[in-house]
Structure formats: structure tokens, C-alpha cells
Structure 1
Amino acid sequence: MEPILIAFALAVVAWLLVVGDLVRRHRPAWHWYLTGYPVAAWRVASTWRRVALLNDLAVSRLPARTLVGHLLVKGDPVRPVAPRISFPRATRMGLTVVVRLHAGQTPATYMQAADALVHAWKVHAVRVTSPERGLVLLTATATDPLLRPGLASAPAELLSALIGALETGGAWVMNLRLVPHWLIAGATRSGKSTLLARVITQLAPQPVALVGIDCKGGMELGLFADRLSALATSRREAVAVLTALVV
């Protein structure tokens, strides 16, 4: 009977591994809630005090002192105290932790410790924000959202462009009706032209007029000349196009 039980146990383990791999690939959110989140929450709870001590997030409290006659009697030795944290709350592909700051602490210290939290919790990234005074919100992302962005579920609206994925894995939508003016700035090769091309290709199928002003001689927007309602490639042409738009 023992060989049969061993074979049965191995078959069950193999079946669980196969099913787990299928769930991980086709239903990553389910896999995260069932296995990833409990493990990550345990890591957060078990490593928090050590990470806080190593990254100067803990505060040493002075010992109690009592004056007895002319003698100063000291209490317990100085011990660093880590900030209090909430229980890790699961998100779709990560978790969030609320930290209550010690007096005198600022979120800047936690921003510097973000990389240490990534390695301690074995996640892809940790974002630090401060929703209100005295609190810090740590948002951990389990995996790179660009691997499985899931952009197909993004709503298609007029004057809206689906740009990419947010750090949460959701869709990043640029809605020009809500925010009509955008300034895209960045260093060379930081992705400005790629972002602009994405906006144009997303707006191209929509019944809208697209006017381009490219004072590089059309080097950036010349590829989209067939779709653009007007394209200015010099300052003189830009003045003429802007004047026509105003009229």
C-alpha cells in the first residue's frame, strides 16, 4: 500500500503544480491572492523591525530617569523602537502598508529606504506617498506591470488615448477632455517621441482634427502627415497654422 500512497501523493503534487502554473499565467490576480499575497504579507510582518533598524526608520527613546535624593537612577537601557504599521492590505497585484511616523520623522527617510524594502519583501517596486500628516503609505507592486498590462479593458472614449500601464497594472488613459493641456518634458531618449507617437496613433481613428507643429523640419511628426489635418515644419508655417486655428 505504501508505494500506491506515495505514487498518489506525487500525482497530487504534480497536479497542483500544473494547475498553479496555469493559474499564474492565465489568472495572475487569482494566483497573487491565493499564494503571493499571504507570503508577501508574512515577509512584511517578519522583516519590518529589522528593516526599520537598518535603514534609520526606528527612533531610540530615552530611558526613564528618577531622582532619588541626590542620585539619578536610570531605568531600562536605550532601545530603538520601529514605527507602527498596519496589517498589509492586498491589492490586485500588490499590497499596501500604512506607517505611523514617529515625531520628527518625514516621508523622505522612507523614500530613501524604498530599495531596501523591495529586497526585504521580494517585490518589484515600493512606492512611498504621504496621504496625510504623520502617515506614510507604502505601496508594493509584486511584479512588473508592463509584463501583463491588461490594457484591453481600458474604456475607449472620444479624445482619450490609451498610453500604457500604471504601476498598479491598470490602464494609463490620457483624457484630453478632462485635461486638455499637456507639457511633455524629459531628457534625450527618455521617451517623449514615443509618447507623442502613441497619442497620435490612439487619436488617429477618432473623428477629430489633428494639427501638428514640428519645428525640426517634420522629423518627429512627418511620419503622421497623411493623417494630420495640417502640419507645420517651420516657424513661419507654425504662425500661419496657429493664426488659422484662432480664426
Structure 2
Amino acid sequence: MSDEDDLARFVVRGPKEIRFLMRQLSERTSLVSAYPADAGHFALLSILDVPESPDEHLILDVSQDEAQNTALLRSERIICVSQLDRVRIQFELPGIQAGRHLDKPALISRMPAAVLRLQRREFYRLQTPVTDPVRCVVPIGEAGKSQPLDTRVLDISGGGVAVCLPDTGHGFHVDREFTGCQLFLQDTQALVIRLRVRNLFKVTLPGGNEILRAGCEFVGLTPAQENHIQRYILRIERERAARGTE
């Protein structure tokens, strides 16, 4: 199964299903983290209404921060993340316009074309690009005497990463935690994170060489860090789809 096939299991594309999910978010006044694609910050919004209209529009409230509203209005793509019954709901809005709802300022957007719906145990795992690798620098050793270990990230999800280690393992073992790790997602500054090792085993590559693979989960990610990682995953998937690669 390809990465795209794996992701497709969690994607809702039917207009009726998407409208139903948007109405649930609206009725429960669920907060939506809205990330302009070209900005590093986000705005907390809610969906005010999902009107029955031929042009399929969403109506959202405005942020109290005018700078955030300006960034949203200027962006051609806004990545939105929310939750329903502990299920992560993620979708992309194709731009937002200023409008009014019940005689108050509002933000208006077309309905999303697809919605990604992931339970915590169903994090989609992305194999990272070989030509533009993702790195994670892990401080190893005793407190005060740690040395940075530069590792290559083999795959990444909203729940964790798998990294490639030297044969010695450098002190990695199941349940060990590493604080102050730096995750480099290509064109961004490092995310400073904490990792807990969940599994450790050797993998034989097609050429016969063996590598040591450590599966690690994220511990205590902030909402901003979670969304930063999901934005990276969506961007890589979008680039792969545009190239027609699996």
C-alpha cells in the first residue's frame, strides 16, 4: 500500500459528509486553529454557520487580533485543525474573504474539498524525502555532559518519528526519554521537542546493509508544534501528488 493509499483511508471527500462535519464543529462551538500557509502563527476561530447555499460557503468568526485577520485574508490557503469526540479534524480552506453575519464582522470561505479525520491511534505516517531529508538532533549522554547526535528521520507522523541510529545505539533503549531534541523540518527553524523511545530494532535494507531503527513518540507537544508537523506532512503529500509519485 502506498503512502497516499494509507492516507486516503482517513480522508472524507463527499460534500454531504463534509457539510455534516462542519455543522458538528459549528453546533459544538469547537475551536478551530487556522494557520495561514505563509505564516508561522495561527488564529483561534469557530464556525458560526454552515448555510444551505449553492456556492457552499462557511461562515467563521473573526479573531480579536487584527493582525491575524489580515494574515488570514491575505493567504490563499488556510490549514485548519480542530477536534470532534477526540478525533482530529483537519482541512484546508481555499482563501477567506471579509463579510458579515447577523450584522457582525465575519470571515467567509468556500467549503473544504476534503477533510482528514484521524483518531489518536490512527496517525498517518509519512516516509520522509530521501533527497531533502529531515533531521533530528538528540542530546545523548549524562545530564551536563550530553553530546548532540545528528540522526536522519525515516518517517514522521503527528504522534512521533522513527530515526536511523549508528549500530551502537548510543544509549537508546525502550522508554528512555530525551529532552531538548531539535527537529528540523527542512525550511523551518528547529522545533525543540521531547522524545520517548517506544521500540528499537534492526532493519535490513534492500542492498543487504542493516540499520538500527528507533521508533519514538512525541511527549508534550504544544498545539502549535502539532500543527506545524501536520502542515509539513500535508505539504510533502501535496508535492508528491503534483509529481504523480507514490
The answer to whether TM tops 0.5 is no
| TM interval, short-chain normalised | under 0.3
| TM-score of the two chains, using structure 2 as the length reference | 0.28
Q: Report the structure number with the largest CA radius of gyration.
A: 1
Structure with more helix by fraction:
1
Decide which structure has greater strand share: 2
* Structure possessing the higher relative contact order (Cα contacts under 8 Å, 6 or more residues apart): 2
